[in-house]
A and B are shown apart, each in its own frame.
Chain A
Amino acid sequence: MYNSVKKTLEDIMLQKAGLVLSDGTSIDDLIDLKMHEVSLRVMNDPELHKIEMERIFARTWLLLGHETEIPKSGDFIVRDMGEDQVIVARDRTGDVHVSLNVCPHRGMKVCTAEAGNTQAHRCIYHGWAFRPNGDFIGAPIEKEQMHGNMRPKSELGLKKARVHLYGGLIFATWNIEGPSFDDFLGDSKFYFDQLFCRTDSGLELLGPPQRFMIPANWKIGSEQSASDGFHTLTLHRSLMEGGIMGGTPESIYDNAPGMYGVDISCTEGHSLRCLEAAQTFKMFSNVSFEGKTTEERLHLLPPPGITPDLIPQLFKNLSPEQVDMLATIPPQVGGMFPNVLVLFIFAPRTDGGASGALALHTYMPRGPNHFEFVNYIFAEKDAPESVKRDMLQNSIQQAGTSGVIEQDDADTWPQIMRNARGPVGRSMTLKYQALTGHSKPENWPGGGMIYPGFTKDDTQWNWWLNYHRLMSNPG
């Protein structure tokens, strides 16, 4: 009898795509694939959170920083992969390694600093020491062999993650045999290359990231990163009222600045919004590309973060199709699954001029009810110092802790999670039913799912589809 009940339960669990919570709720109950709705409960659920840490954050590629943070041998930074803390370090050969910041001896943090330089990370508890690549060097009092003799030294190193550098960005995963980084990027690589791999020296992180806590579930920020363009009109209304995005306060909904463009997405859950500058910002509204070559267009209006001197490098590092896209309808905002926001925007300055702001955010889970917002601000390494200074200042004023755009996001997200607490509120659903439908324009140069026109819910729904896919896989 018991066995048959158990067998039936197992069948149900298989049918329900591999995820059933203890109250019998399945992933398909939480994410209604037919109606394009997601239960608000997912934004505040400890049980789901634990599974997310295992099936998403311990398995997928995660952004940890940029190699310009650790230029020298022995340089290290401490970052997070979900709820697990890691040491990101450069060794003598120049390779970057990512190792769990947990001493294999008695579980203490091996690094207690956020950054530094050393060839030997010595745990302050009993003194076990490790190389930048995570290898165990030894314990104090060598002749007493304080690591015992049951395991060889080769088994006593820090647990090592798999590392991939992309445009200098440091990604890592615990999924040692899993998909390659290129598989993880999928069709979005063609577009992300235009942002991260376009100049000879690449990007440079301008300083250590801003870090601050948001009392909200990590998915509330992350699903918005999947190219939620529509919220800009209302939540970021002050951008329009300030007069920088075209129109007047009274005509915000009539003009809908920045809403028309091309949204791009792929099955891996990444997405980007590609926007024509002239359609977005008032200051560019007189710029006409009529009859202009790619190069002329680039000089007329260089993409965010690119100075005229850097334009020849674009042709060198990118395909003609990629450069043409960057010149016409550059990707500006979007996200990388699971928790990265991409913000490579034309940024209006307070003096009426234009600048660029290049930023990436990661939304690192801290339990089901909080995430840490980590804000990385970049410039092209070969840009003049004055441009870097201008971009840093602009980026800080627009995004992150005090940024006038993202202040409003930071105040909204906790209220959504608050609403996911009540038994009635939890049963409400998030709607992703305003759909454009995938339709690739003629001669479109890149892959993926392409949504031209008004920004709608397609890309965010694709984010949830990938969430559903990963959460359904018990591994």
Chain B
Amino acid sequence: MTDRSTAAVDKSGIMRGLVSRNRVPLGSEIYNRILETLYDEAAVLDERRFDDWVAMLAPDLIYTAPIRLTRTGPNRDRDVMRTMMHFDDNYQSILMRTGRLSKSAWAEDPPSRTRRFITNVRVGEAEAPDEYEVVSYLYLSRSRGENPEYEITTAERRDIWRFAGGSYKLSRREIILDQATLSMSNLAVFL
């Protein structure tokens, strides 16, 4: 019998989107540039230009995807479990992953044909100057081999984008997947 456990389910978060109270309004210059950056990022990943993607990442990147847990009663909304992740990465480990994709990564060789649809984009000013909290929805369709069935996943992404050197760099991404049991058989694609 144990008195404490990090596997116990009390270390969990309530699902919440944008935190910032200082909204960057839809249609404003900054909003438009950030939206454009998200579209560019989706294209870069769909076109498998991983070096170009890495160039969009800040060196202090933290890239995570907590698991979801089905819960009931008073805890029913505390279903984002940050004690366990599907992705738990930083800039270095992302470089390891993209490096692998250029070699014998059979999970993506032959490559998946993917489409990343980014919608419901909300932007707010983050605490640090030149940093923006960006929440977006992701719909990812993935087609592998001759299999006519799509593998699909959906998620909310909570990002911090930093304006540096004339462009926006991703310094934080938390991917809130919508499945407790993923239907995608691996996450060899970035979300």
Interface residues in chain A, defined as those with a beta carbon under 8 Å from any beta carbon in chain B: 66-72, 75, 94, 112-116, 201, 204-215, 235, 237-238, 241-242, 249, 350-351, 372-373, 377, 381, 388, 392-393, 396-397, 400-402, 404, 406-408, 410-412, 414-415
**Minimum CB–CB distance for B117 against chain A, Å:** 21
Residues of A with C-beta under 8 A to B19: none
B69 contact set on A, CB distance < 8 A: 114-115, 208
Which of B35-43, B80-88, B118-126 sits within the interface? B80-88
Instruction: Please name all residues of chain B whose beta carbon is closer than 8 Å to the beta carbon of A206 when the two chains form the complex.
Output: 6-7, 83-84
Give 9 pairs: A residue, B residue, CB < 8 Å, sorted on A: A68-B8, A113-B70, A207-B83, A213-B185, A215-B185, A350-B92, A350-B93, A377-B84, A397-B97
Closest 10 CB pairs of A and B: A207-B84, A207-B83, A407-B107, A212-B182, A205-B7, A402-B187, A410-B186, A237-B104, A113-B72, A211-B181
Q: Which residues of B contact A114 (CB under 8 A)?
A: 69-71, 180
* Given A115-B71, A210-B84, A410-B107, A68 and B2 contact (CB-CB distance below 8 Å): yes
Contact A396 B87 (CB under 8 A): yes
Residues of B contacting A242 with CB < 8 Å? 96, 99-100, 103
Compute how far the CA of A116 lies from the CA of B185 in the bound complex, rounded to whole angstroms: 27
Taking Cβ atoms with an 8 Å cutoff, the residues of B that contact A are 1-9, 65, 67, 69-73, 75, 81, 83-89, 92-93, 95-97, 99-100, 103-108, 144-145, 180-188
Q: Report B167 CB to chain A, min CB distance, Å.
A: 25
A239 to B126, CA, bound (A): 39
Per DSSP, chain A at the interface is: mixed
* Contact status B86-A204, CB under 8 Å: no
Contact of B89 among A205, A214, A235, A397 (CB under 8 A): A397
How far, in whole Å, are A415 and B104 apart by their CA atoms in the complex?
18
Q: Bound state CA distance, A70 and B92, in angstroms?
A: 35
> Which among A71, A209, A214 has the greatest number of chain B C-beta atoms within 10 A?
A71
Would A71 and B2 count as touching, CB distance under 8 A?
yes
Is B2 a contact of A67 with CB atoms below 8 Å? yes
- Apart from A238-B103, A396-B85, list 14 A-B contacts with CB within 8 A: A67-B2, A68-B2, A113-B71, A113-B73, A115-B71, A206-B7, A211-B181, A212-B182, A213-B183, A241-B100, A350-B93, A404-B96, A411-B144, A412-B106
A404 touches B71 (CB 8 A): no
Query: Smallest CB-CB separation from A403: which chain B residue?
Result: B186
Bound complex: CA A208 to CA B71 (Å): 12
Check A402–B105 contact: CB distance below 8 A.
no
CA distance A402 to B183 in the complex (A): 13
Q: With A208-B67, A211-B182 known to touch, is A112 a contact of B105 (CB < 8 Å)? A: no
* Cβ-neighbour of A408 out of B88, B105, B183 (below 8 A): B105
How far does the alpha carbon of A75 sit from the alpha carbon of B2 in the complex, in Å? 12
User: Could you tell me if A213 and B182 are in contact, using CB atoms closer than 8 angstroms?
Assistant: yes
Selected from B4, B7, B99, the residue in CB contact (under 8 A) with A208 is B7
By beta carbon, the residue of chain A nearest B149 is A215
> Known contacts A407-B188, A408-B107: does B96 contact A372 (CB below 8 Å)?
no
Of B83, B93, B185, the most chain A CB neighbours within 10 A belong to B185
Determine the residue in chain A with the shortest Cβ distance to B86.
A401
Out of B6, B86, B89, B103, name the residue touching A210 (CB < 8 Å).
B86
Measured between alpha carbons, how far is A212 from B188 in the docked complex, in Å? 13
Contact A72 B8 (CB under 8 A): yes
A71 touches B1 (CB 8 A): yes
Say yes or no: B185 contacts A214, CB within 8 Å.
yes
| A214 to B4 CA separation, bound complex (whole angstroms) | 33
Residue of B at shortest CB range from A375? B84
* Chain A proximity of B26: nearest CB distance (Å): 33
Q: Which residues of the other chain, B, contact A351 by a CB distance below 8 angstroms?
A: 92
- Indicate if the CB atoms of A208 and B81 lie closer than 8 Å: yes
User: How far does the alpha carbon of A75 sit from the alpha carbon of B188 in the complex, in Å?
Assistant: 34
- Give bound CA distance, A235 to B85, whole Å: 25
Q: How far is the CA of A456 from the CA of B97 in the complex (A)?
A: 30
A31 to B9, CA, bound (A): 44
Contacts of B2 in A (CB 8 A): 67-68, 71, 201, 204, 381
Closest to B181 in A: A211
Chain A nearest CB from B49 CB (Å) reads: 20
In the bound assembly, the distance between CA atoms of A94 and B3 in angstroms comes to 11
Bound together, the chains give a CA A350 to CA B92 distance in angstroms of 7
Quote the shortest CB–CB distance from B35 to chain A (angstroms): 27
Chain A neighbourhood of B70, CB < 8 A: 112-114
| Interchain CB contact under 8 A, B71 and A116 | yes
